[in-house]
Structure formats: C-alpha cells, structure tokens
Structure 1
Amino acid sequence: MASTMIVYGLGLATIGFGARYVLRAMPGMTKQFNEAIKNLPQMDANSRYYRGGFESKMSRREASLVLGVSPSASAKRVKEAHKRIMLLNHPDRGGSPYLAAKINEAKDLLDSGKS
C-alpha cells in the first residue's frame, strides 16, 4: 500500500513538472509556430478562378477568364459557358447586376470575333 502511494506521488510530481515546463515554454513556441505558419506555401482552394479586378475596357483575355473558356473557343462553347455562369449569377436569383453585366459583356466580346 505504501509503495502504491509512492508511485502515485511520483506520477503526480512528474505530471506537475511536465506541465510547468510546457507552460514556461509556451510563449517561445507560439512565436515559432506563427513563423512556421507564415512560411507555409499559400494554397488557394479556388485557384482555377480568375483573381483580380476588371479592366476599364474588357479584352479578349479577360472575357475568356470571366467565362472560363479559351480565347479561341467555339461559339457553342462560349454560349454554354455563358448560360452556366448566368444561371449562378443572375440578379433575379440574388446575383450581382454588375457581375451579370460583365458576364454579358464577355459573351458579346467573344461572340463578336466569331462572325
């Protein structure tokens, strides 16, 4: 019985010293952890989408990025992409009128080159 009490006491003392060590080392570890997080490569879940603002006058490149097609895509592909994106961004379904206008502008610009 006495030896069991000694083992329990030593166990509690070990836990106490371990906790004290961790608590004292925490501020230094926090700095190292934050620096390690900053140095990790940035991963963007939506990397396939165009990130950036609109140009003052839309170019064919920007129009193709808006619709998600290549600049030399066929008229059928442009029409399908326009329909798909407009279903998601139409103002009647809670989308932005500005984005809908830009999507329409992109379709018109890409269609004008196909004539």
Structure 2
Amino acid sequence: MALVAAVYFLIVHLRSLPKEKRNRTALNLVFTLLVVAVIVLSLTGRIHWIGAALTGLLVALRQFGPALLKLMPAFSLWQQHKAKQTPPPPSPDNKSLSRAEALSILGLSDPVTEEDIVAAHRSLMQKLHPDRGGNDYLAAQLNRAKDTLLS
C-alpha cells in the first residue's frame, strides 16, 4: 500500500513540473530506483556481486562521465605534447663503417677471427638489445659492425 502511495505521489509530482524539468527528473528518478533496487538485491543475496559492481561502475560513469568528456581534449593535447618531447631514436647513417670503427664498436682489436666477432656481437647484443633494455640505435650499430667485419 505504501509503495502504491509513493508511486502515485511521484506521478503527481512529475506532472506538476514544467516540461523542461520533467524528462530529466523522470530519468533521475528511474536511475535512482534502479540503483536502490540493485543495492537491496545485493544485500539480500539475490544478485551476484559482479552485477552490483557493474551497477556501481555505471553510477560512477554517470557521475563522472561529463567531466571525463570535458577532459578528453586536454588528454589529447597532453599526448601530443608528450609525443613531441620524446625524440625518435636516431637512425644509423647509411655510410659504411670502416674496419677500425667496426672493431671499436665490438670492442675488438686486430687480428680477429670470425668466432671472435660472433662472440663479441652476441655478448654485446645480450646487453644492448631493445628487448633487454637497450635501444634500437645501439643494436643497429652492433649489427652493422658485425656485418662489416664478416663481409
């Protein structure tokens, strides 16, 4: 009986509002009733906790969504600014290395065997490879030095 009276009161209240406020108030009312229903269902164990968590996420999105949408242009500008600050890794120049430069890069001295070159390259590449914390430029230099010495 109390529920019927509350619904009647809400309908009368909504009809008394101006048309501009009526739709927004009705939407807020429906949303609030759904949240209350989910809270009651989760407290009584009739809804899974994941359902309650998803409802909480929807509430948070509804509350913070407009602010997040206003921040999107600022986030985009920040990403562009960050991309400008990070210089691209220098690309190795296309000129060929001299034998002395290649030996210096690999930390070797003449006379050197093919096995020495491969072992030095492998050892340095394990330390300087991009997948292991090195960078592309140093790995490319090591590869160029090895190729120069082996050709």
Q: Which one has a larger percent helix, Structure 1 or Structure 2?
A: 2
TM-score category of the 2 structures, normalised to the smaller one: 0.3 to 0.5
- Which structure has more relative contact order (CA 8 Å, sep 6+)? It is 1
Q: TM-score, normalised by structure 2?
A: 0.36
